[in-house]
């Protein structure tokens, strides 16, 4: 998951770190905050990847995000290409106090209140509680791809026969391959592969590449603290694919990262299948795998659609209309 944000043009001293109408101070995500913040994110009940605390924490170094607690909700502020924007406030309880904090910060900067990555359920709640206050614009590039965990684990039917064929070719070409759950003892395999994978890419091709590497390294070193899970495939004595994820809700597992060497046929569908099987075995209650959005990249969209998602989780950009 990469929020569509660039470095904010706003100066740090103009970002309104304090809420003018309350004692809320916005701070950058910290690992120690996960203890209180993650349960509020989960209580939102959204399967959207933005509502997984780990997603926010891991990408906050590259894409500036801040938050503060307002009652039993978290106000998450994004500082990026849209100037200042917010997520729909995760948590439970009254929505109005959190919106007041958001509106206060927007007003302090002289900009309208904007929320991004708002899901249909959240859109419905805003329309019901604040009729006529907001406009909604569909953001197709941010739609999440959700898959039935059993279908990803078994790849049944005619539609997925090509995936099975690629995996058979992987089996034939790599008879010694093995899938290993990631532990502290084999974590170095993922680090080695990430370094090699990154070196194969042109730095000018994707400006978020180094940011993703930093996020992956943090995810690996903080796997226990973040309750991350993952697996790595080895073949021919070296790592060729790995995947990392975590629970967003009890029924939804978010795949944060997935890497494979594209020149090794079948490596991507094999790691996707094996990860799904591990999640199914460890978490029988999980029904969905969220493989996140496509960021508007044509190749990535084609790849995600090729697995025939059960659901595209719609996202909206929400803007407050001028009033009073």
Inter-residue contact 287 to 148 (CB < 8 Å): yes
21: which 2 tokens?
A: 């109408």
Considering the domain boundaries, does residue 179 fall inside one?
yes
Q: What is the pLDDT of residue 198?
A: 83
Please indicate, yes or no, whether residues 132 and 148 belong to a single structural domain of this protein: no
Q: Are residues 58 and 104 in the same domain?
A: yes
Do 117 and 138 lie in one domain? The reply is: yes
Cα 259 to Cα 236: distance, rounded to the nearest angstrom:
17
Q: What CATH number is attached to the domain comprising 82?
A: 3.40.630.30
CA–CA gap between residue 253 and residue 207 (Å, rounded): 27
**5: in domain:** no
- What pLDDT shows up at residue 42? 94
pLDDT in tens, 211-240: 899 999 999 999 999 999 999 999 999 999
- Do 172 and 229 meet the contact criterion of CB atoms below 8 Å apart? no
| 305 domain residue, yes or no | no
What's the rounded Cα separation, in Å, for the pair 112 and 320?
6
Asked whether residue 165 is domain-assigned, the answer is: yes
Same domain, 46 and 58: yes
Would strands 229-235 and 238-249 be described as parallel, antiparallel, or unpaired?
Answer: antiparallel
b/e sequence 166-196, b meaning 16+ C-beta within 10 Å:
bbeebeeebeebebbebeeeebebbbebbee
**How large is the average pLDDT for residues 78-99?**
89
Predicted confidence band of residue 8 (pLDDT cuts 50, 70, 90): very low
Domain count, the chain: 2
Residues 37 and 153 both lie in one domain: no
| pLDDT, mean of residues 283-297 | 97
Domain shared by 62 and 148, yes or no: no
Q: Residue 125 corresponds to which tokens in the numbers above?
A: 């709640």
φ/ψ bin of 222: left (φ > 0), alpha (ψ from -120 to 50), beta (otherwise): alpha
Distance CA 315, CA 88 (A): 11
Instruction: Please indicate, yes or no, whether residues 164 and 286 belong to a single structural domain of this protein.
Output: yes
What's the token pair of residue 280? 């199914």
Q: Does 137 lie in the same domain as 157?
A: no
Question: Is 51 within the bounds of a domain?
Answer: yes
pLDDT of residue 160 exceeding 60: yes
pLDDT (average), residues 136-164: 97
Q: Both 24 and 111 in a single domain? A: yes
Q: Do both 128 and 254 map to the same domain?
A: no
Predicted confidence (pLDDT) at residue 10 exceeds the cutoff of 60: no
Range of the domain at 166: 144-292
157 in a domain, yes or no? yes
* 259 within a domain of the structure (yes/no): yes
What is the arithmetic mean of pLDDT over 57-77? 93
Residue 299 lies in a domain: no
Same domain flag for 153 and 73: no
| 179 in the same domain as 60 | no
Tokens 């790599």 sit on residue: 174
pLDDT, averaged across the chain: 90
């Amino acid at each position: 998951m990469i929020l569509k944000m660039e470095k904010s043009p706003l100066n740090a001293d103009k970002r309104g770190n304090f809420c003018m109408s309350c004692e809320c101070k916005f701070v950058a995500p910290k690992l120690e905050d996960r203890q209180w913040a993650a349960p509020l994110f989960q209580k939102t009940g959204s399967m959207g990847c933005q509502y997984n605390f780990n997603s926010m924490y891991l990408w906050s170094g590259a894409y500036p995000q801040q938050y503060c607690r307002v009652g039993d909700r978290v106000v998450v502020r994004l500082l990026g290409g849209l100037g200042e924007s917010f997520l729909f406030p995760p948590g439970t309880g009254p929505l109005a106090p959190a919106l007041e904090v958001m509106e206060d910060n927007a007003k302090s900067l002289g900009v309208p209140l904007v929320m991004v990555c708002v899901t249909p359920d959240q859109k419905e709640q805003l329309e019901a509680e604040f009729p006529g206050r907001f406009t909604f614009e569909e953001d197709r590039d941010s739609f999440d791809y959700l898959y039935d965990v059993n279908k990803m684990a078994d790849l049944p039917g005619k539609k997925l026969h090509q995936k099975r064929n690629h995996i058979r070719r992987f089996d034939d070409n790599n008879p010694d391959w093995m899938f290993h759950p990631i532990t502290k003892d084999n974590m170095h395999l993922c680090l080695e592969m990430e370094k090699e994978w990154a070196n194969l890419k042109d730095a000018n091709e994707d400006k978020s590449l180094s940011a993703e590497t930093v996020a992956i390294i943090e995810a690996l070193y903080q796997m226990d603290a973040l309750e991350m899970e993952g697996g790595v495939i080895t073949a021919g004595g070296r790592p060729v694919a790995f995947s990392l994820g975590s629970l967003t809700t009890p029924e939804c597992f978010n795949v944060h990262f997935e890497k494979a060497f594209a020149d090794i046929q079948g490596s991507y569908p094999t790691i996707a299948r094996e990860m799904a099987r591990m999640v199914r075995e460890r978490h029988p209650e999980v029904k969905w795998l969220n493989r996140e959005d496509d960021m508007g990249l044509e190749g990535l969209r084609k790849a995600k659609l090729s697995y025939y998602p059960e659901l595209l989780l719609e996202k909206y950009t929400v803007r407050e209309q001028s009033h009073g």
